[in-house]
Amino acid sequence: MANEKKINYVILGFLCYEPLTGYEIKKRIDNSLSFFWGGSYGSIYPTLDTLVSEGCVEKEQETSGRGKIIYSITEKGRTLLKEWLVRPVEKDELRYETLLKLFFGSELGREGILVHIQKFEKKTRDALMLLEMYAANLESARPDEEHQYYLLTVRFGIETYKAYLNWCQQAKTVLQQG
């Protein structure tokens, strides 16, 4: 109960803005949620089926072209989403293998740990650059409500990644001076 599946709400959330295919939903997730949430076809398509059977989503197949299946949200779906949105957050979870390896660092030694930190630093730097691009784009676009919330999540990522980089510097100094 405490760990209700969330992919439902991700789907409903995106369908709130516009009708989409399963494929497009996956892209939306990858593009705008990926640094704090995920979702695979193996969870998206079956969930779309369930949502249809529950009357939260409607499907319509294009007669022309590729015959894409386009899903749109119903009133019931919208209500379900809102009910979830007002409920308190159940879990915010960080699972960093880098930290796990670092924690047991005395078994690996300085050199090895430094390698992990350098990779982490690079990964973070790349991710930060991407988010900064997103932020710039969102800021230059005409500000509407949707974008405002999107931008806030992006800023969260930016602040967090900057803190990571800052920490990387500290950690490298500590490890190098012994």
Which stretches of the chain bind a second copy, using CB under 8 A? 6, 9-10, 13, 16, 32-33, 35-38, 78, 81-82, 85-86, 88-108, 112-113, 116, 119-120, 123, 145-146, 148-150, 152-153, 155-156, 159-160, 162-164, 166-167, 170-171, 174
State the Cα–Cα distance between residues 8 and 6, nearest whole angstrom: 5
Residue 72's closest CA among 18, 7, 27? 18
45 binds, among a second copy, DNA, none (CB under 5 to 8 A by kind): DNA
Q: How far is the CB of 103 from a second copy (least distance, A)?
A: 5
- Is the Cβ–Cβ distance between 140 and 44 less than 8 Å? no
133 binds, among DNA, a second copy, none (CB under 5 to 8 A by kind): none
- Is the Cβ–Cβ distance between 10 and 37 less than 8 Å? yes
Residue located via tokens 């308190």: 88
Is there binding between residue 43 and DNA (CB under 7 A)? Answer: yes
Max intra-chain CA distance, the chain: 68
- Is the Cβ–Cβ distance between 26 and 39 less than 8 Å? yes
Return the residue of 13, 16, 19, 21 that touches DNA, per CB under 7 A: 21
State the Cα–Cα distance between residues 29 and 111, nearest whole angstrom: 37
Is there binding between residue 53 and DNA (CB under 7 A)? Answer: no
| Binding stretches for DNA (CB under 7 A) | 1-7, 21-24, 27, 38-43, 45-46, 48-49, 65-66, 68-70
